[in-house]
């Protein structure tokens, strides 16, 4: 992403963001207040200071039967019945599922995802 006057050419930002952050940023840039209960965060501070740190403690996804959670270096992913766990620091390509070797962590993260999912509205497009 380039934004004259905000981003510097060649800047790489490794902080995870989610699509709703783009909406929050666009609204803020247009001078429109973001609703207090919105999931997205304004990205402008992160773009200006890439080392500012994470915007979200945890990111959650749910698309059909697929699900994911990302927190810190961990990514939990499900495309079916079984959860997979990846350490994104040592395995950024997500080629080694380590859920079996980290059962307690995988269970804790999957329970966290389930708690989040139950608090969400059901998709209207079903």
Co-location of 39 and 78 in the same domain: no
d(CA 126, CA 124): 6
Q: Are 24 and 34 in contact (CB under 8 A)?
A: yes
> Minimal CA–CA distance to 96: which of 75, 81, 110, 79?
75
Q: What residues form DSSP beta bridges with 78?
A: 67, 83
Whether this model's pTM surpasses 0.85: no
Q: What are phi and psi of 105, to 5 degrees?
A: -65, -45
- The whole-number pLDDT of residue 26 equals 92
How many domains, the chain? 2
d(CA 22, CA 42): 7
CA distance 54 to 40: 13
- Asked whether residue 106 is assigned to any structural domain, the reply reads yes
Q: How far, in Å, CA of 77 to CA of 71, rounded? A: 12
Q: Are residues 114 and 62 in the same domain?
A: yes
And the tokens for 55? 């915007």
Give 16's contacts (C-beta < 8 A, 6+ positions apart).
Answer: 54, 56, 59, 70
Model pLDDT, residue 46: 87
The pLDDT tens digits along the chain (126 residues) read 778 888 888 888 888 898 999 999 999 999 998 888 888 899 888 888 888 778 889 999 998 889 999 999 999 999 989 999 999 999 999 999 999 999 999 999 999 999 999 998 887 776
Give yes or no: residues 114 and 82 share one domain.
yes
Write out the residue range of the structural domain in which residue 38 sits: 1-56
38 and 78: one domain? Answer: no
Domain boundary among 56, 71, 93: 56
Q: Does residue 124 sit within a domain? A: no
């Amino acid at each position: 992403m380039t934004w004259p006057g905000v981003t510097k050419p060649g800047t790489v930002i490794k902080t995870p963001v989610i699509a709703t952050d783009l909406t929050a940023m666009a609204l803020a840039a247009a001078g429109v207040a973001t609703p207090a209960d919105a999931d997205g965060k304004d990205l402008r501070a992160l773009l200006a200071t890439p080392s500012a740190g994470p915007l979200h403690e945890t990111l959650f996804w749910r698309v059909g039967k697929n699900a994911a959670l990302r927190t810190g270096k961990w990514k939990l992913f499900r495309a079916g019945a079984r959860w997979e766990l990846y350490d994104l620091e040592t395995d950024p390509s997500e080629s080694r599922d380590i859920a079996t070797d980290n059962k307690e962590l995988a269970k804790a993260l999957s329970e966290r995802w389930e708690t989040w999912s139950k608090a969400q509205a059901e998709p209207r497009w079903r």
